[in-house]
Amino acid sequence: MLAFCSIPMAYSGFTLLLKTFKAIANRFDMGSKPYFVSIAAVITIFVIFALPSFVIRGVTEITTPYSTMTANMRGFTRVDEGAILTESKIEFLNKVATITGPNAVIANTPYDGSCFAKGIANLNLLFCNDENYTELTTSSWAIDLRSNLCNYVSSSSTKKNVRDKDVQYVLSLEEDEGTMKAWYPAFEQSRWTGILSISEATPGFELILQTGDMALYKIIN
């Protein structure tokens, strides 16, 4: 839509450049020379497509495809540019790795960005992406841990599942439901209350690392 709306501006800029070249040609009496017209056309196309955006003072601002493309690429490749896994989260994950190591099993909510933690910080996550693995979607142990891990101390079945899966830590990178829902429409908070509701005050969990909303808890046996 933005590109469509930009067509009139691009046309105006192109027309302005042609008029500028025509004025120069008339001044130096070169309008009748075909080669000048060809050169002018080539230069015009080069200016429009290959140069950064520029301003013709008092007239208009020319936004070139080159500038638009570079701006888009800069946004797409910046981790912290509107992404679920920000630079601060990556930094936190690296700190977590120094505590847990690569083998300790960590319960998590994949929609908070932790689904990328295996590749970034070599963390051994319990839930990488529950939508792609039937076992993590339908297994009784997975359903129990997602919905009831916060009651680990008082629930014998949950405690058994924790021990069977050797879960030692709980990782939380995001508390805002809206942020997770925006990036992953499949996210349903009700399915993850057992992990999302864990806090420093939850019995059976020790807060060992925290930065803002990001936290790492150790399960106390």
Q: How confident is the model at residue 1 (pLDDT cuts 50, 70, 90)?
A: very low
Does the pTM surpass 0.75? The reply is no
Q: For residue 209, what pLDDT is reported?
A: 98
Q: Say whether pLDDT at 116 is over 70.
A: yes
Instruction: Report helix angle 140-148 to 156-164, nearest 10.
Output: 120
Q: What's the mean per-residue pLDDT of the chain?
A: 77
Q: Say whether pLDDT at 198 is over 60.
A: yes
Amino acid at 68: T
Tell me what the mean pLDDT of segment 121-142 comes to: 76
Q: For residue 30, what pLDDT is reported?
A: 52
Question: Tokens 């301003």 belong to which residue?
Answer: 55
Q: Which residues pair with 56 in a beta bridge?
A: 60
Q: Say whether pLDDT at 97 is over 70.
A: yes
Q: What is the rounded end-to-end Cα distance, in angstroms, of the chain?
A: 56
Q: How confident is the model at residue 170 (pLDDT cuts 50, 70, 90)?
A: very high
pLDDT digits (tens, 9 = 90+) for 16-56: 656 666 666 666 555 455 656 666 666 666 665 666 665 66
Q: Which domains does the chain have, with CATH numbers?
A: 2-77 (no CATH), 87-219 (3.40.50)
Maximum Cα interatomic distance, the chain, rounded to a whole number of Å:
95
Task: Please state, in angstroms and rounded to a whole number, the distance separating the CA atoms of residues 9 and 48.
Answer: 12
Q: Say whether pLDDT at 3 is over 50.
A: no
Written as six digits, the tokens of 8 are 């009139």
Tell me what the mean pLDDT of segment 135-163 comes to: 91
Give the count of beta carbons closer than 10 Å to the beta carbon of residue 187: 18
Q: Say whether pLDDT at 172 is over 90.
A: yes
Task: Please state, in angstroms and rounded to a whole number, the distance separating the CA atoms of residues 43 and 144.
Answer: 67
What's phi and psi for 172, nearest 5 deg? -130, 120
Q: For residue 34, what pLDDT is reported?
A: 60
Tell me what the mean pLDDT of segment 89-118 comes to: 93
Q: Say whether pLDDT at 110 is over 80.
A: yes
Q: Say whether pLDDT at 217 is over 90.
A: yes
Nearest to 103 by CA among 88, 127, 129, 122: 122
